[in-house]
Amino acid sequence: MTLLEIQDLHVDYRIAGGLLPAVRGVDLTVGKGQILGVAGESGCGKSTLAGAVLRLLPASTAVRGRISLHGEDVLGMSWGRLRAVRWSAASIVFQGAMSGLNPVHRIGDQIAEPILLHGTPAQRKAGRKALAGKVGELLESVGVPAWRAQSYPHELSGGQRQRVMIAMALACEPDLIIADEPTTALDVMVQAQVMALLKSLVTERGVGMMLISHDLSVLSHVCDRVAVMYAGRIVEEGPAGTLFTDACHPYAKALAGAFPVIGDMASRRAPRGLPGDPPYPLDLPGGCPFHPRCAVAIEQCATEDVRLRPAAPGRAAACVHVGVASESATALENLR
Amino acid sequence: MTSVHPVLEVRDLHVGFGPRKGGVPEVRAVDGVELTAERGQIIALAGESGCGKTTLARTLLGLAQPWRGQVLYHGTPLDYRNSALKAYRRKVQLVLQDPTGALNPRRTVYEAVAEGLRIHRVPGDERAKVAQALSLAGLRPAENFFGRYPHELSGGQRQRVVIAGALVLNPEVIVADEPVSSLDASVRGEILALLMSLRDELGLTVLVVTHDLGLAWNIADQLAVMYLGRIVEIGRTEQVLAAPKHPYTEALLSVLPETRHREPVILTGEAPDPRHIPDGCRFHPRCPALTDGRAQRAGVADRCVGEPLQMLPLHRAHAAACLLPGHVGDGIAGAAGGVPTGVTAS
Ligand SMILES: Nc1ncnc2c1ncn2[C@@H]1O[C@H](COP(=O)(O)OP(=O)(O)OP(=O)(O)O)[C@@H](O)[C@H]1O
Ligand SMILES: Nc1ncnc2c1ncn2[C@@H]1O[C@H](COP(=O)(O)OP(=O)(O)OP(=O)(O)O)[C@@H](O)[C@H]1O
Ligand code: SF4
Ligand code: SF4
Ligand SMILES: [Mg+2]
Ligand SMILES: [Mg+2]
């Protein structure tokens, strides 16, 4: 049974001006022992997707589609069942989690909390004191010395707090970990350590992971597959190793092209953005939502609802140029 | 403003937390930093998580006070009286590391950006200024974001509101702590390009704390690398990235995907603790040059462990605080380079 399966997910936020469509039809799966990477423009719906999986979005939000965890329908779960599932079956490391710690409690107590509530019966019975060793181990596993359990959040640096949140998400040994920008505040060395830890959970314990990151090099090195989102949809999906070096979708290509490569003189003192405005969810362009910014757009892009289609073996992309021979393919080739 | 002095200068800076013993605080978060930022310079500051970067940034803004050493603005030591600090913070803006913590959840985007204009009673069309700052930061059309609250924004959108709040005052200096870490490569590129054009056109000075060495490669003139409260290496970005001198910098660069052809050096040993700074070179308990015999062969291993190492002085092209030959601590490079005043042993 697939660990996580999402089908045709739609999420609309309720805001003053009406409904804001943040996720507009996403399908994806994460199997046991698999890491799925998710990348995409700021505001394209990645965190919304993550929050939807554990129903952590504001109550007014409209969520449609199907999310199943171990075959169980998440959207139909009772709150009690949902509470039991969070932490122990699936846990999430929130983006910007460093401000998610409670300022008045020591961090050791905060890590122990989910274990006391959702851990094994033995752990729950043993109580807080008995968990000190476990808490220390969790901290050390993310490179934070065990004595930090005694510290308050304000006594920790940004990266230390971020690692505390990762330790907390691992505390109840969940089968699925959703990590939303888990290493943004970490230096490359510590980041490599944390990624190695997460990867070992995946390979040794068969944990499944959804990893949201702007760091394309982390994604291509850590994940099995990667999905690139734009304006609430997946626009390309494929193997992590080649997706960014050989992207099919013009947006995925532009994203990869904007990523600086140290040592490459072309990007020295030449930061690159993407021309045009990011799409505004309340006022999305018709047709392919990328068309106003796309260098290879053709007439039909403004009107046709372009859906994901096979682009190569194991690869899908939502672009009219994909999967057809001739001129279109040449246009794409020239972009490369 | 023109002046013979650098815009910002940091001398012998020591900042700590916790109770003091013999005048020295328990936690020595910044422990001997010298740094200058000239007008129009873009300096990137990298270093291990917990090494003191945010503390240094906060001290530059007068949000924390050093227990030793000082921060100078155009050659004048910071005046910590409220009115003076207020005037200073109109010119020198801080972009905080954590955008969620930096924004007041009960204030709209408009109010968050307009706040600086109101505090400093900036004349002119407030609405137009707020709109311009937001759209420069990539939140377009700006009006669509005016009435939104922080929780109604994505992580990267929040970060851009904080950036807009700094830009709206047309500062002379921006001290930015991981300003673009939650932005995708293309939005990041747009904001970095904006910082560069503000530098080129208006002489903006930027000190940017970042873990992203690609960002340094993208925009920084100089790159400084910190370890346990000190700058251990500084130089032109190209030099530091292409030919790192300090063993810590070497290790850091070795784990980058771009250098996968090199053997990655994963540092072992305890994470450093600013309450117990090692004697000798503060990196020695984890230094690969000490374990692989390089320090031994150079005849410096004993000093690495036992002799206090100088703080890295100012005004050097490319320097590292290390005893290995050719570095500042070796006594040769230091003598030849005309070490300026303010050099002290720790
Ligand atoms: N609670 C909310 N109410 C209304 N709109 C929201 C809410 N949360 C997010 N949004 C909007 O939904 C869209 C998607 O946001 P989301 O946080 O999922 O983006 P993201 O892909 O995670 O971006 P980032 O990379 O910047 O974190 C954005 O346009 C955002 O402004
Ligand atoms: N208020 C405080 N009380 C005690 N210790 C503190 C306090 N603030 C920071 N520290 C400690 O000082 C050191 C430096 O913290 P700082 O936040 O400056 O690090 P940083 O370099 O910004 O790290 P990061 O990259 O993780 O954000 C850390 O070891 C931290 O635990
Ligand atoms: S469908 Fe058209 S507009 Fe969209 S990415 Fe492909 S070429 Fe560009
Ligand atoms: S001084 Fe010695 S211990 Fe310190 S970095 Fe250099 S070689 Fe390593
Ligand atoms: Mg997000
Ligand atoms: Mg910090």
pLDDT tens-digit series, residues B241-252: 999 999 999 999
Q: What pLDDT is attached to residue B8?
A: 97
Q: Print pLDDT tens along chain A (336 aa).
A: 899 999 999 999 998 878 999 999 999 999 999 999 999 999 999 999 999 999 999 999 999 999 999 999 999 999 999 988 988 899 999 887 777 899 999 999 999 999 998 888 888 888 888 899 999 999 999 999 999 999 999 999 999 999 999 999 999 999 999 999 999 889 999 999 999 999 999 999 999 999 999 999 999 999 999 999 999 999 999 999 999 999 999 999 999 999 888 988 998 999 988 988 889 999 999 999 999 999 999 999 999 999 999 999 999 999 999 986 545 555 555 554
A51 Cβ closer than 6 Å to some ligand 1 atom: no
Q: Which of B227, B245, B254, B224 has its CA nearest to residue B236?
A: B224
* Burial state string for B262-276 with b = 16 or more CB within 10 A and e = fewer than 16: eeebebeeebbebee
Distance, in Å, from the CA atom of A164 to the CA atom of A107, rounded to the nearest integer, reads: 8
Rounded to the nearest whole angstrom, what is the distance from the C-alpha of residue B28 to the centroid of ligand 2? 9
Q: Give, as residue ranges, everything with CB less than 5 Å from ion ligand 6.
A: A 157-158; B 54, 97
Q: Where are the beta strands (DSSP E) in chain A?
A: 4-15, 18-30, 35-40, 62-69, 72-73, 90-93, 176-180, 208-212, 225-230, 233-239, 309-312, 315-317
Q: Give the number of the atom of ligand 2 that is nearest the alpha carbon of residue B274.
A: 29
* Residue range(s) occupied by CATH 3.40.50.300 in chain B: 8-220
Give the H/E segment covering residue A216: helix A216-222
Look over chain B and give the mean of its residue pLDDT values, rounded to a whole number: 90
User: CA B72: distance to chain centroid?
Assistant: 16
Q: Which among B100, B211, B271 is the nearest to A188, CB-wise?
A: B211
What are the domain boundaries of chain A? 2-89+174-265
The answer to whether residue A185 neighbours chain B at the CB level (below 8 Å) is yes
pLDDT for B268 beyond 90: no
Which residues numbered 74-133 in B keep a CB inside 8 Å of some CB on A?
Answer: 97-101
Q: Which residue of A has its CA nearest to B135?
A: A277
Q: What pLDDT is attached to residue B260?
A: 62
pLDDT tens-digit series, residues B202-219: 999 999 999 999 999 999
Q: Whose CA is nearest to atom 3 of ligand 4?
A: B284
Report the gap between the CA of A134 and the closest CA in chain B (Å). Answer: 18
Distance, in Å, from the CA atom of A317 to the CA atom of A306, rounded to the nearest integer, reads: 9
Q: What pLDDT is attached to residue B314?
A: 74
Which ligand minimizes its atom distance to the CA of A308?
Answer: 3
Rounded to the nearest whole angstrom, what is the distance from the C-alpha of residue B268 to the centroid of ligand 6? 22
What is the CATH number assigned to the segment(s) A2-89+174-265?
3.40.50.300
Please state which CATH class domain B8-220 belongs to. Answer: alpha beta
User: CA B263: distance to chain centroid?
Assistant: 28
A217 vs B185: CB contact, 8 Å cut-off?
A: no
Ligand 4 site, CB within 6 A: B 246-247, 281, 283-284, 287, 289-290, 295, 300, 304, 322-324, 329
Distance, in Å, from the CA atom of B211 to the CA atom of B216, rounded to the nearest integer, reads: 9
Q: Give the number of the atom of ligand 3 that is nearest the alpha carbon of residue A295.
A: 8
The answer to whether residue B222 neighbours chain A at the CB level (below 8 Å) is no
pLDDT tens-digit series, residues B305-339: 999 888 887 766 899 999 998 776 554 443 333 33
Q: Which among A157, A190, A217 is the nearest to B257, CB-wise?
A: A217
Rounded to the nearest whole angstrom, what is the distance from the C-alpha of residue A8 to the centroid of ligand 3? 21
pLDDT tens-digit series, residues B215-234: 999 999 999 999 999 999 99
